[in-house]
Every structure is written in C-alpha cells, then in structure tokens.
C-alpha cells in the first residue's frame, strides 16, 4: 500500500504543478510568440503551430526531469 500512496502523492504534486503552470502561462508575454512559431491567417482560416515554443518547453522539461532524477 505504501507504493500506491507514494504514487498518489506524486500524481497530486504533478497536477498542482500543471495547474500552476497553466494559470501562469497567460502572464508570460513571450510564450507562444517566439520567432519560429508558424502563424498563418486569411479571411476564413487561421493556422497556428507553436514550433519554437514547443521546443523551448521540451528543453526546459527535459532539463528539470534530468535534475530531479539525480
């Protein structure tokens, strides 16, 4: 049972962290508007692909996970 308890604690911490990240993401003005993000807009179609933002978030998460596993 202790493994299940630890698992639930970790899942809870991850969910709280994700909630904080999502609530603070709107306050970061450069997030989603980096050079390399693809944005195409016409009269009826808007296409947005945050390529560079995805790469930056991936690098930050990889670094954090690497540091926590040490």
Q: What are the boundaries of each domain within the chain?
A: 1-29, 31-70
User: In this structure, are residues 45 and 67 in contact, taking their beta carbons and an 8 Å threshold?
Assistant: no
| Rounded-to-5 percentages of helix, strand, coil across the chain | 60, 10, 25
Helix (H) or strand (E) holding 32: none
Residue 22 confidence (pLDDT): 78
Tell me the C-alpha distance between 22 and 29, whole Å.
Answer: 14
Tell me the C-alpha distance between 11 and 17, whole Å.
Answer: 10
| Total-model pTM | 0.60
Residue 32 confidence (pLDDT): 75
The segments of the chain whose pLDDT lies below 70 read: 1
Residue 33 confidence (pLDDT): 81
Residue 2 confidence (pLDDT): 84
């Amino acid at each position: 049972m202790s493994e299940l308890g630890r698992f639930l604690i970790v899942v809870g911490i991850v969910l709280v962290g994700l909630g904080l990240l999502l609530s603070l993401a709107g306050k970061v003005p450069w997030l989603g508007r980096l050079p390399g993000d693809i944005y195409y807009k016409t009269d009826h179609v808007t296409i947005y692909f945050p390529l560079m933002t995805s790469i930056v978030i991936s690098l930050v998460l990889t670094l954090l996970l690497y540091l926590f596993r040490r």
